[in-house]
Structure 1
Amino acid sequence: MPIDVHALLAAPPVRTDVVWDDRDVRLYHLALGAGVPETDPDELRYVYERHPRGLKVLPLFGVVAAGVGFQVFDRPGVDIDLARVLHGGQEVTVHRPLPPAAKATAVTRVTDVHDKGMAAVIVQESALLDETGEPLLTQRNHVFVRGEGGFGGDRGPSGRMPDPDGEPERVFELPTLPQQALLYRLTGDWNPLHADPDAARAAGYDRPVLHGLCTFGAVVKAVTDRFLGGDTSAIAGCRTRFAGVFLPGETLRISVWTDPDPATRGYRLRATAAERGDAPVLTDAALTVR
């Protein structure tokens, strides 16, 4: 079996040195679609290093900066074709706002391998630590591997959240660029599924699809701008389940509810593909605030 569950769970944590500067931050934001319109001072705070109010850093940049999204495939006990891999979900806890430049360490381990029958879900956790060893953020990503279930393991939690009550507080649309996946690849995710038409067809798609983290990052930015006045430091965490394919150039339709639970202060989110009958893209999504 390509996944040796015992070897994967027994593998020691991997420590990775991480360095970024404002150029990396600006490229990440541009890959999400920031900078439109190009003269808007609020947009320039994401992409202009000399902005008088300083350069913003969206917390999901820390996931990219750590470069550990699919590090699981370098672990003992894993031999998987990337064409069968999907990013199933992402959770991020923000301990402190990310600086525009830093030296850090990512400490990554596999915490669970769930058996979903027709697929396996590998849960990978990574803590991003600053130079003093203090945590900046903790992320958990769920790697969905088609055809690798049925090994007799636990199914694990469903990860579903209760549906929000009532109509959304706000619904708005967010266009994306046809070349958005090609731009986002420059942040470090080189999976050919997002660039090569042949690779995409081999995986069962008509054409290359947009990275789930790009879609999620664009949604988090849009909600931050509209509900938090662009204050990225107010974000305490975010999560989503990647429920469906989104194609570069399509329009995201984003629905937002204020979370009524004081224990999870923030917003519930849902994103759909507007041109395809509101096909689900992001579900079970939330953004929590300080």
Structure 2
Amino acid sequence: MPLDYDRLMRMPAESVTQTYMARDTILYALGLGVGATNPFDGDELKYVYERNLVALPMLAVVLGAGAMNLSDPKFGVNYTMLLHGEQSLQVHRMLPVAGTVVSESRIDEIYDKGAAKGAVMYFTRKLFDQASGDLLVTIGSVVFLRGDGGFGGKSDGAPKLRPVPADRPADQQVPVHTMSNQALIYRLSGDYNPLHIDPDVAGQAGFDRPILHGLAAYGMVGRALIKALCNDDPARLRRLDVRFTSPVYPGEPLHVEVWNVGPGDAAFRLVATDRQTVVEDFGRFEFQAT
């Protein structure tokens, strides 16, 4: 059964309500490796210690998720061939360290790249504070439907991410530390895909060992850039965009290559240091400049 474009695009906006506690905020930060190298550093403790706790903005990507069951056969999506391709986050208000949020998700568009190349689906998810009704963040996701091209849809018009500057070297490099058990912790924030913990499942998918969640690496790069560019003040983050280009393995060293583009605007990519492989590209980091 081919992908049913009309049925997917008629899907109404889906709503998910989630109550989370300070414990969830702390657990998310631990899943990003916060406190792993220096557990008594005050800059680390503020994300993992309930006294004066601060929520990392990237926590939003795991809150109110779970809408849009694309694995339902009625949509005709080859779910086993789905690949998370891009992620974006626009911050409107700081996340509370605990509370109840309402998430509203919709499909924006699906582009047909042809039977051999698959399809590309764009989503938007808005996260609201239930108590105040305030819009907290807008989350964008792109998934590659590698087995669903050729359904007869349009192929042009997809948004394009901004590439990093090709005419000059990066202005700085920021090291990122990963832990060998990081996927075991991060999964407790809600992504229980066995690809990230079960060696047999990883092997069936073509990997020699379990890989780290893409959104874990996304959160880690956001944390590193908040520290490097925002004087470790998460309230200054405005936007974080990336394209996932290669898997990350728990425990391997990473570094972020950062280009200063303008006031409050940086381009970046995340590199697996030993493999010299770009694992996140087209990175865009916007923040409140001082």
Calculate the TM-score normalised by the size of structure 1. Answer: 0.91
Tell me if structure 2 keeps the 8 A contact 1:115–1:150: yes
SS at match of 1:47: coil
Q: Which residue of 2 aligns with 1:287?
A: 285
SS at match of 1:186: helix
1:216 corresponds to 2:218: yes
Matches within 5 A, 1:17-56: 17-35=17-35, 36-50=37-51, 54-56=52-54
CA apart distance, 1:159: 2.2
CA apart distance, 1:266: 2.0
Tell me if structure 2 keeps the 8 A contact 1:11–1:76: no
Separation in 2 of the partners of 1:78 and 1:188? 24
Gaps of 5+ in 2: none
1:117-157: CA deviations, max 9, x gaps? 32222212111011232200010111112221122222342
Separation in 2 of the partners of 1:148 and 1:198? 26
Separation in 2 of the partners of 1:205 and 1:163? 28
Separation in 2 of the partners of 1:85 and 1:289? 32
1:154 corresponds to 2:151: no
- In structure 1, give the amino acid aligned to 2:86: G
Q: Which residue of 2 aligns with 1:230?
A: 232
- In structure 1, give the amino acid aligned to 2:109: D
Tell me if structure 2 keeps the 8 A contact 1:21–1:101: yes
Q: More displaced, 41-50 or 160-169?
A: 160-169
Q: Which residue of 2 aligns with 1:59?
A: 57
Tell me if structure 2 keeps the 8 A contact 1:83–1:202: no
Q: More displaced, 12-21 or 198-207?
A: 198-207
Tell me if structure 2 keeps the 8 A contact 1:83–1:199: no
Q: Which residue of 2 aligns with 1:3?
A: 3
- In structure 2, give the amino acid aligned to 1:162: P
1:127 corresponds to 2:126: yes
CA apart distance, 1:92: 0.9
RMSD: 1.8
Matches within 5 A, 1:107-118: 107-117=104-114, 118=117
Tell me if structure 1 keeps the 8 A contact 2:64–2:103: yes
Percent identity reads 37
Separation in 2 of the partners of 1:200 and 1:71? 25
Separation in 1 of the partners of 2:40 and 2:90? 32
Task: Return structure 1 stretches of 4+ with deviation > 4 angstroms.
Answer: 79-82
Q: Which residue of 2 aligns with 1:94?
A: 91
CA apart distance, 1:158: 5.7
Tell me if structure 1 keeps the 8 A contact 2:32–2:219: yes
Q: Which residue of 2 aligns with 1:185?
A: 187
Calculate the TM-score normalised by the size of structure 2. Answer: 0.91
SS at match of 1:275: coil
Q: More displaced, 3-12 or 158-167?
A: 158-167
- In structure 2, give the amino acid aligned to 1:49: E
Note closer, same or farther for the CA distance 1:60–1:272 as it changes in structure 2 (3 Å cut): same
Separation in 2 of the partners of 1:29 and 1:222? 12
1:200 corresponds to 2:197: no
Q: More displaced, 148-157 or 204-213?
A: 148-157
Q: How many residues align?
A: 282
- In structure 1, give the amino acid aligned to 2:280: L
Q: Which residue of 2 aligns with 1:169?
A: 171
Separation in 2 of the partners of 1:208 and 1:146? 21
Q: More displaced, 165-174 or 92-101?
A: 165-174
Note closer, same or farther for the CA distance 1:112–1:76 as it changes in structure 2 (3 Å cut): farther
